[in-house]
Amino acid sequence: MNDTVKEQYFELLRFESIGADPLKLRDCAECANWLKRWLEEAGFKGELLMPDIKDSKASPPILFAEKKGSEGAPTVLIYGHYDVQPPDPLSEWKTPPFVPTEIGGRVYCRGAQDDKGQFFAFLTGVTDFLASLGTDAPRPTIKVLLEGQEESGSGALIQMAESIRRKIAADVLLVSDTSAATGLRPAIVAGLRGVSSFTVRLTGPSRDLHSGHYGAVAPNPAQAIAEIVSSLHNADGSIAVDGFLSGIELPSPEELAAAEESADPEEVWSADIGCEAVGGEKGRSIVERNSFYPTIEVNGIHSGYGGAGSKTVIPSEAFAKISMRLVPGQSVTAVREAVIKHLEAHCPRGMKLSVEDYRLGAGGFRLPLSSPLFRLASDVLGEMDPRGAVYQWDGASIPVVSILKDVAGASALIVGWGQAEDKIHSPNESYSFEQFAKAREWGRRILAAL
């Protein structure tokens, strides 16, 4: 990486573009403007889009940029997101979370990989490709769409996607926001799970109560939230919500075999997460649990006193943050109905239940292995790495991708260069210069092939 690219990369990382935090809206706007200027210097025509919705003032801008190509050449839409996860817990960071710091060939900073590092490296490869062309050489039309809400559900972009259908129309949708296989072996993502999330809140007593005076008399919301959360799963780890699994489309034998072939063994997963990889339904492989079946996960439970020492109270309320990863065949609205019905049916006596901040998100999708675009990508990645590319069905989600590919009318190609040691969404996120170079080379090579 030359000094100019490194300086630009580090400058991009310094923006505290936490899209989910209204207090960081200015940081997001400044980040989007910086990217607009960067693309314009590369010959793109850029504009900032704001969704035409009531809360648009609280939405980070969406950046659209375009560089016209040769007549008859394909149109390529590149998607990425400049927003990042909050850095919490701050006490666990070994370096300042928004000060890019080089250590041992890696850059430590929030967003170093997810997704600033990935999309910026890819776009740098795209500009390398454009710079290499002669004046009369054929070139594709290149469109870039960068948003600031992916980490919180892409609400603004999802709402305005239909209104910008003609603007983002493309033949190919390129995304670099996923991982390579272990050892940086190239991986083509053939499917992603969808995601929905919500908060369930229980209220009981009108105030926090003395646990001696009111114990065994007043219902306890902290205990009740534990009960209702535990009701979501059966003893074998399978999901206990009636109707939740309705309509799911299981993988074909070919897809399952390809996924198992490239999968890491259980001991690698256990070493990565720091404990036994025993989550999910017993009797199913990690690939099945992580790629092809849906999940319900508790992201946090909050109630009562959590400070030093003891405070003997019965708390007045409790709440849990819950997310769900969804697979093809599941309806996001049917899942919502099933989950709310389950929660209401299992609400403990004496409690008032409310479901808040329900984010429908988007469903999961899988792409056909027979896609000509996959064959082209496999050839390009084989030139980059003699081991060749593998196929993966990622258990994570990029909710807006399934919508963008349909609205844009594009074939999707998802190739990323993340690794487990990057620790995305955790303190001490990082991205290596080797990974950056791979993503940059991939950007240059796939544009040349297209």
Going from the N-terminus, what domains does the chain have, and what CATH number goes with each? 3-193+364-449 (3.40.630.10), 194-248+294-360 (3.30.70.360)
Report which of 167, 123, 5, 140 is spatially closest to residue 74, judged by C-alpha positions: 140
* CA–CA gap between residue 113 and residue 429 (Å, rounded): 7
Three-class DSSP category at 311: coil
Type of residue at 185: R
Report which of 147, 203, 171 is spatially closest to residue 318, judged by C-alpha positions: 203
| Cα within 13 Å of Cα(280), Cβ side | 19
pLDDT tens sequence across 335-394:
999 999 999 999 999 999 999 999 888 889 999 999 999 999 999 999 999 999 999 998
The residues pairing with 217 across neighbouring beta strands, listed in sequence order, are none
Q: What is the DSSP letter of 215?
A: T
- In this predicted structure, the answer to whether residue 1 has a pLDDT above a threshold of 90 is no
Mean per-residue pLDDT of the chain: 95
Which residues, including other chains, have CB under 8 Å from residue 198's CB and lie 6 or more apart? 322, 336, 339, 355, 356, 357, 358, 359
pLDDT tens sequence across 13-36:
999 999 999 999 999 999 999 999
Q: What percent of the chain lies above the pLDDT cut of 90? A: 91
pLDDT tens sequence across 173-182:
999 999 999 9
pLDDT tens sequence across 65-118:
999 999 999 999 999 999 999 999 999 999 999 999 999 999 999 999 999 999
Q: What percent of the chain lies above the pLDDT cut of 70? A: 99
Q: Residue 166: how many CB atoms within 10 A of its CB?
A: 8
Range in 48-62, 266-280, 394-408 the model is least confident about: 48-62
* CA–CA gap between residue 138 and residue 347 (Å, rounded): 63
Tokens of 270: 């256990």
